[in-house]
Amino acid sequence: MTKNKNYHIIKIAEPFAPLLTEHKRIKFYYGGRAGGKSYAFADSLLIKGRQQKLLIACLREIQDSIKDSVYKLLCDRIALYELNDYQIFENRIENSVTGSKFIFKGLRDQDVQHIKSLEGVDIAWIEEAQTISKRSWEILEPTIRKDGSEIWISMNRELENDPLWVMVASHPDDRTLVRKVNYSDNPFCPEEIKIQAEKCHQRSLDDYHHIWLGEPIKQGHTKLISSELVRKSFLQNILTSSSPLVIGLDVARFGDDSTVFCFRQGRLCLKFLSYEKLDNVAVANLATGFIKDYRPQRIFMDIGGQGAGVYDILKDRGFGEIIRGIYFGEKAINEERYFNRRAEMWDSVQSWLASQPQVQLPADENLFDELTGINKKYDRRGRLQLEEKEEVKKRLGRSPDKADALALTFAEPVYESSEPQIYHRDQLTFEDIFNSAHEKGQTTW
Ligand SMILES: Nc1ncnc2c1ncn2[C@@H]1O[C@H](COP(=O)(O)OP(=O)(O)O)[C@@H](O)[C@H]1O
Ligand SMILES: [Mg+2]
């Protein structure tokens, strides 16, 4: 009598009703973030699996571990609704009443064994379908061959030519249902998510259309920074700025990269200084000289590679207050919006260039190529990501060292009031500071 006691409280939002009520070979749902696709698919499958014995395959392009899959979502829904007839195993879920079974697989690198195990599948759910390759689809589709079997697809579109979009949804036949759902169609959409969507709307229409309205990034719109903005900044003639001086330091990682210092005061980027083939001590000496001559409020440096050694030397010299080490790959300050720190800093460059009053960069064609040569993409959480450095290098023929140095000046906000203490000790000369830092270093031996 306890059987199905909670059946009726699982509510499927209206746009997803066909998942349960219609039979179609392919059910293709696409749209922006938070349309309710994943939840509706999970809930509908759990309902179906209680009605009759089904083999359900939850598929994605890459699944390095079960953690990448919708396994956790299904487990959460089972727990929430107390569907005690479902038994959860390490890498599958079974219904003890009907005998239904959920399995989880990645399509890339699948071997013959994998494909064979999919032949009896009643429903295949392809999640994050924008990442499915043409090859994976061509292997999968004929494998799901059982009479009455269905393929359910959920996708947040990435590019105009996403393979599955082109092959399945752009010209659907009458065995294919295609539906768009956005957060505004999701009756369960949390307020907080609506606020995030509205914020994005205010910030960038392009991003809003892509992330929240599910439109693909248009070809030609994949550049992070537009040529026009950079050109404009080259034409300005700001003479001085009273904003604190910030230096971005990108230390060469390999023999063929340059070490670059970028000097910026608020909306005025004063200059770039590039050096080749310097050892750590030489870079640290340059930085020390700049601290002495220009009194920067902060020096942000990349410490992912060689920079770490330079950072240690500067710290030892007593400049801990001024220097900050940044890993490009570390998690962003705003983790919701950015894939990593580097994407966050580069996006700050873009906002800075787009801000009013107009900002100024030194007119420099290398800098132009670097800034406008980087493509953006979005990860599956809709967070901004930059294309891989190797790709950029192939196109540019070098690393975007100047642009990275500029991006570093945006690592953290720098306020007037946070002026380093060492500049306040008026009676001390720079040499005094340097010597005392040096002595302090020696006493630690
Ligand atoms: N049936 C539901 N019950 C409760 N909340 C839901 C339901 N469906 C969606 N939501 C809410 O909406 C959010 C977005 O849904 P999700 O399925 O993750 O969207 P999508 O897969 O389209 O990005 C979820 O995080 C959840 O808060
Ligand atoms: Mg989803």
pTM value is 0.64
Residue 418's pLDDT band (cuts 50, 70, 90): confident
CA of 97 from ligand 2 middle (Å) equals 28
pLDDT of residue 204: 82
Q: Which residues pair with 272 in a beta bridge?
A: 262
CA of 189 from ligand 1 middle (Å) equals 6
**Overall number of domains in the chain:** 2
- Per-residue pLDDT, averaged over 374-383, amounts to 86
CATH number of the domain within which 342 lies = 3.30.420.240
Same domain, 165 and 28: yes
pLDDT of residue 37: 98
Q: How far apart are the first and last CA of the chain?
A: 77
CATH number of the domain within which 30 lies = 3.40.50.300
Residue 442's pLDDT band (cuts 50, 70, 90): very low
Q: Whose C-alpha lies nearest to ligand 1, atom 14?
A: 34
The residue among 33, 12, 318, 40 whose CA lies nearest residue 152 is 40
SS3 249: strand
- Per-residue pLDDT, averaged over 328-346, amounts to 95
362 preceded by cis ω (within 30°)? no
The residue among 364, 374, 362, 377 whose CA lies nearest residue 400 is 374
Same domain, 375 and 314: yes
Same domain, 176 and 236: no
Same domain, 372 and 239: yes
- Region of residue 227 (left: phi > 0; alpha: psi -120 to 50; beta: else): alpha
- Asked if the structure places residue 219 within a domain, the reply is no
383 neighbors 340 (Cβ within 8 angstroms): no
- Asked if the structure places residue 220 within a domain, the reply is no
- Asked if the structure places residue 41 within a domain, the reply is yes
The residue among 378, 7, 15 whose CA lies nearest residue 188 is 15
pLDDT tens, position by position, 149-161: 999 999 999 888 8
Q: How far apart are CA 365 and CA 442, in angstroms?
A: 45
- Asked if the structure places residue 198 within a domain, the reply is no
- Asked if the structure places residue 196 within a domain, the reply is no
Position 381 pLDDT exceeds 60: yes
Q: How far apart are CA 126 and CA 61, in angstroms?
A: 8
Domain boundary among the residues 135, 166, 189 is at 189
SS3 83: coil
Position 444 pLDDT exceeds 50: no
CA-154 nearest atom, ligand 1: 21
State the residue for tokens 């390095």.
Answer: 64
- Residues in contact with ligand 1 by the CB-under-6-Å rule are 33-39, 43, 186, 188-190
Same domain, 172 and 76: yes
Q: Whose C-alpha lies nearest to ligand 1, atom 15?
A: 36
Same domain, 321 and 424: yes
Residue whose CB lies within 8 A of the most ligand 1 atoms, among 70, 186, 195, for a mutation test: 186
Same domain, 31 and 176: yes
CA-10 nearest atom, ligand 1: 1
Position 378 pLDDT exceeds 90: no
Residue 430's pLDDT band (cuts 50, 70, 90): low
Those residues whose C-beta lies under 8 Å from the C-beta of residue 290, and which sit 6 or more positions away, are 247, 261, 296, 299
pLDDT tens, position by position, 267-302: 999 999 999 989 999 999 999 999 999 999 999 999
pLDDT of residue 54: 98
Same domain, 284 and 140: no
Percentage above 90 pLDDT, the chain: 71
Same domain, 184 and 323: no
pLDDT of residue 440: 46
Give me the domain span that covers residue 358: 227-439
- Asked if the structure places residue 208 within a domain, the reply is no
344 neighbors 336 (Cβ within 8 angstroms): no
Same domain, 156 and 285: no
The residue among 186, 211, 221, 166 whose CA lies nearest residue 380 is 211
- Per-residue pLDDT, averaged over 77-90, amounts to 96
CA of 33 from ligand 1 middle (Å) equals 9
242 neighbors 410 (Cβ within 8 angstroms): no
- Asked if the structure places residue 322 within a domain, the reply is yes
CA of 152 from ligand 2 middle (Å) equals 13
